[in-house]
Structure 1
Amino acid sequence: MARASFGIGTVRVRPGYAREVELPITRLVTGAEITLPVRVVHGREDGPTVWVTAAIHGDEVVGIEVIRRVLARLNPRTFHGTLVAAPIVNVLGFTAGDRYLPDRRDLNRSFPGSARGSLASRIAHLVMTEVVGRGEVGIDLHTGSFGRTNHPQVRADLDDPRTRLLAEAFGAPVMINARLRDGSLRAAARERGAAVLLYEAGEAWRFDEWAIEAGTAGVRRVLASLGMTDPVATPTAPSLVSRSSSWVRARRTGILQIDAVLGQRVSVGDRLGSLSDSFGKTLRLVHADRSGIVIGRTTAPLVNRGDALIHVAGLDEAVEPLPRHHLNPDLDPDLDPDLDPDLS
């Protein structure tokens, strides 16, 4: 029996086809319509429905390229299940060159939104209704905020068995057991019963190739682990596990020279950099106050006392990865499809 078509907005996508859909958001004062671009890949074969989102913050462009590369390699005629991809969620921020919406609201603090609320609330409601609400698994793609860059990492609820398996399948260098934030897409999707991975890598307004490659490979691995595509290469090493992280902060104002690099393993007391005055006189050295791995750093040369400099995640060396097996309940009888998937 052939699959049913997939409805989104006012459009229906037939099985074995991919289609781009424009979901109306608002109109400019000129009367021009602003829409949310979505591409649906509706496979010919049965399978799960997965959504992938990027650029919830308008300056986070790495995820846009990740989605483009993932979509370029999918064939709806051989695809199992359905993929709903929204590469630019914050269309207004992206086109204006801004992280936030025109009213300065953070879209990722506006979920689940309301059809009658503010612009941010309306966009959040649209995304929840037409994208998130249609899938049981989601991947939300982010980068560091302005002036910061992040090592490739997945943030998720690692205590939820199915979410943990998805995070392991993604295969980022680090996976972090991260708490939920009120108003975030992850928190709202949690209430809808979705299992969500948040991918962080790179810097705002930059196409960092290393971040794009890791994100593209990770999304493709998740799709393969769900039985939606053919198997793909596994990562060379399992993800390191972290359950806590903190920023090393500047103890003086000065010009920053960072010696540590993203992904570097550090121990308490290790030198991470230094602060100097405008003539090069060293004012203070920067040392690690915890052991772990560097997952983020500032890119600003001038820092004030108290500014966040280097983000270090502590490593959970004692926890062994869960057994790797297929995440598609239809193909894996040991995975309980009724588990309440969680996210963070």
Structure 2
Amino acid sequence: MSEKEVLDILGKKVALGESAKVSFNVAKLHTQNTIDVPVIIERSKKPGPTVLITAGIHGDEVNGVEIVRQVISKGINKPKKGTIICVPVINAFGFVHMDRLFPDGRDLNRVFPGSKNGSLASRVAHKLMTEIVPHADLILDFHTGGADRFNSAHIRIVKGELVLDELAQVFGAPFIFYSKNLNKSFRNSCYKLGIPMLLFEGGKSFHIDNTITNTGVNGVKRVLHHLEMLNRKFKVSRPKKEVLKIDESKWVRAKYSGMFRPTINVNSKVEKGDVIGNITDPYGSFNHFVKAPNSGYVFNVNESPIIYQGDAIFHISTKLED
């Protein structure tokens, strides 16, 4: 068999038309127990692109894990041509404890491309970047908002990349958010390797939202259909609304500490001066109305009932791309 016909990944050789489940692990727990990270590989008999679908870089971002789980359980990951590699939970250590970070206290998404002899998180990043990522022609990476901060479903990409722009439009999330690649992030490391990545954000930590997961799964199907990889048995729906491109945005921060209640929903369009929430105290003596500082779309809402002065409570677009 030629090199293209055999995928050599994590010590396993997978030929065209074959399926495989291999383990991705780099270390043991302090109890000497291993935590295996399953890598699910599905290959068509017909050659084609290789798509890597990942989630769970942060252990508490369950919504992204659920999207990849559905992709696998529904058989969407069985391609008409090419190869689909799924890693539903990269940070299995954090997932077990519902913790964003690694046991060594590090944020996995801030240690890429990692080091063979570095910290636990750094070793995982290094193995991912050296043994899995180089096989990919495209990566779909699924994330979730932070604790209590609910993100609208959106795709994050850098501006000015025509391939990413096209694929983000095809994905069909409500928003495309142009943001710079963060130093030492998974996205930035893949960008430096020349491997395109769509980073999906949606929902909040410790929570599974059906609307968000449906958007993610439908987006995967649209991208695979665009690449002529989606099995014919799956139907592809068009996005319900036009995809909006957010070029610039602004966080609205709390001017006071207190009990917080947003009065608008994520995805809402607001006008400058609109009341979008209120901050009160437990004693009924104080009520501050939060007003939109500008017109735009709200694509993140803080759902925590208790906030402190300076907390980010809304994320609103300030400039849309044509």
Shared fold, TM over 0.5: yes
Stretch deviating more after TM superposition (124-133 or 163-172)? 124-133
Contact 1:16/1:76 (CA < 8 Å) preserved in 2? Answer: no
Residue of structure 2 equivalent to 1:100? 101
SS of the residue corresponding to residue 26 of structure 1 reads coil
Q: Look up the equivalent residue of 1:201 and give its one-letter code.
A: G
Shift of the alpha carbon at 1:75? 6.9
CA distance in 2, matches of 1:131, 1:270: 48
- Asked if the contact 2:54–2:140 (Cα under 8 Å) also holds between the matched residues in 1, the reply is yes
Contact 1:168-1:239 within 8 A present in 2 as well: yes
Residue of structure 2 in register with 1:89 after alignment: 90
TM-score, structure 2 as length reference: 0.94
Task: Tell me the residue number matched to 2:31.
Answer: 30
What code does the residue aligned with 2:267 have? Answer: G
Report the equivalent of 1:261.
265
CA distance in 1, matches of 2:143, 2:77: 26
Residue 176 (structure 1) aligns with:
177
Asked if the contact 2:145–2:203 (Cα under 8 Å) also holds between the matched residues in 1, the reply is yes
Aligned residue for 1:18?
Answer: 19
Change (3 A) 1:107 1:77: closer
**Whole-Å separation in 1 of the counterparts to 2:210 and 2:300:** 16
Distance in 2 (alpha carbons) for counterparts of 1:144 and 1:165 = 24
**1:285-305, CA deviations, whole angstroms, 9 ceiling, x for partnerless residues?**
101112211111112111111
For the residues of structure 2 that align with 1:235 and 1:315, how far apart are their CA atoms?
22
Percent sequence identity over matched residues? Answer: 35
Residue 330 of structure 1 corresponds to none
Alignment TM-score, normalising by the size of structure 1: 0.88
* Partner Cα distance (1:77, 1:84) in 2: 10
1:41 to partner: Cα distance: 1.1
- The aligned residue for residue 290 of structure 1 is 294
The AA in structure 2 aligned to 1:126 is K
Alignment-mate amino acid for residue 53 of structure 2? V
Report the alpha carbon displacement of residue 315 of structure 1 after superposing the two structures with TM.
4.3
- Note closer, same or farther for the CA distance 1:99–1:75 as it changes in structure 2 (3 Å cut): closer
Mapped to 2, the partners of 1:82 and 1:64 lie a distance apart of 20
Listed one character per residue, the Cα deviations across residues 18-49 of structure 1 (whole Å, up to 9, x for unaligned) are 22110222112332222222111111111111
- Note if 1:314 corresponds to 2:321: no
Match of 1:238 among 238, 242, 252: 242
Which residue is 2:162 aligned to? 161
Equivalent-residue separation in structure 2 for 1:116 and 1:60 (angstroms): 27
Q: Conserved in 1, the CA contact under 8 Å of 2:19 and 2:43?
A: yes
Deviation at residue 77 of structure 1 after TM alignment: 7.1
TM-fit CA distance, 1:306: 1.1
Deviation (angstroms), 1:73 = 3.5
In structure 1, what is the Cα distance between the partners aligned to 2:229 and 2:217? Answer: 15
* Structure 1 vs Structure 2 CA RMSD: 1.8
Question: What is the CA–CA distance in structure 1 between the aligned matches of 2:56 and 2:263, rounded to whole Å?
Answer: 30
Corresponding position of 2:130: 129
Aligned counterparts of 2:117 and 2:79: Cα–Cα separation in 1: 40
Aligned residue pairs total 318
Other-structure match for 2:277: 273
Runs of 4 or more consecutive aligned structure 1 residues displaced over 4 Å after TM superposition: 75-78
Distance in structure 2 (CA, Å) of the matches to 1:236 and 1:29: 49
- Aligned residue in 2 for 1:302: 306
Structure 1 residue 241: Cα displacement:
0.8
**Cα separation, 1, equivalents of 2:30 and 2:143:** 30
Question: CA, structure 1 residues 219+315, in 2 after alignment: closer, same or farther (shift >3 Å)?
Answer: farther
